[in-house]
Amino acid sequence: MLYLMNTQILPLPAGTWKIDIWDMTTDDVQVELEYSNKEFRSVIGHQATADLINQVVPFKRLKIRKDRAAITLKPGDEVIQFILKSRLPEGVVLSSEELSRLNYSFRMVRVSGYSWYSALHQKAETKKEPNE
């Protein structure tokens, strides 16, 4: 699965994970989201962020929507992250115009594997009885 999110926090279960990270341009984001054959889901949590991404990425046929869903990544998943380069004060919600004046970037994160510990933990979780 390919996710688009506006956080640097990666929602991974306990374990040791192999993560590959690289920077992306807005053109890279457009190509990855519109022309790859990957299943895609936006988990952008704020409408202003979704609006800004729609303004700065040259989409031809895609519109990013807000979705505050909680996800858990697994091996093979990829994440395009929208990253603000500064931390906002607590409780501040900006408009897309205000966001556009801040420094931001995009990057790709690939979860490509996990350790024996993670595999063992996952196997133990699947063996639990429903009422445990």
For residues 4-31, one letter each, b for 16 or more C-beta atoms within 10 angstroms of the residue's C-beta and e for the rest, the string is bbbeeebebeeeebeeeeeebeeebbbe
* pLDDT for residue 23 is more than 90: yes
Global pTM reads 0.81
Q: Report the range of poorest mean pLDDT among 20-29, 68-77, 78-87, 115-124.
A: 115-124
Distance of alpha carbon 33 from alpha carbon 79, whole angstroms: 11
Q: What is the pLDDT of residues 97-108, one digit of tens each?
A: 999 999 999 999
Of 11, 24, 35, 43, whose CA–CA distance to 105 is shortest?
Answer: 24
Q: What percent of the chain has pLDDT over 70?
A: 86
Q: Which domains does the chain have, with CATH numbers?
A: 2-127 (3.40.50.11170)
Q: Kindly state the average pLDDT of the residues 46-73.
A: 94
**Token pair for residue 72?**
């858990």
Position 123 scores a pLDDT of 64
Strand partners, 23: 107
pLDDT over 90, % of the chain? 62
Q: Report in angstroms the alpha-carbon separations of 40 from 2, 32, 36, 43, 126.
A: 5, 10, 9, 10, 26
- What mean pLDDT is reported for the chain? 88
Average pLDDT estimate for 52-74: 94
Residue 114 CA to residue 102 CA, distance in Å, equals: 35
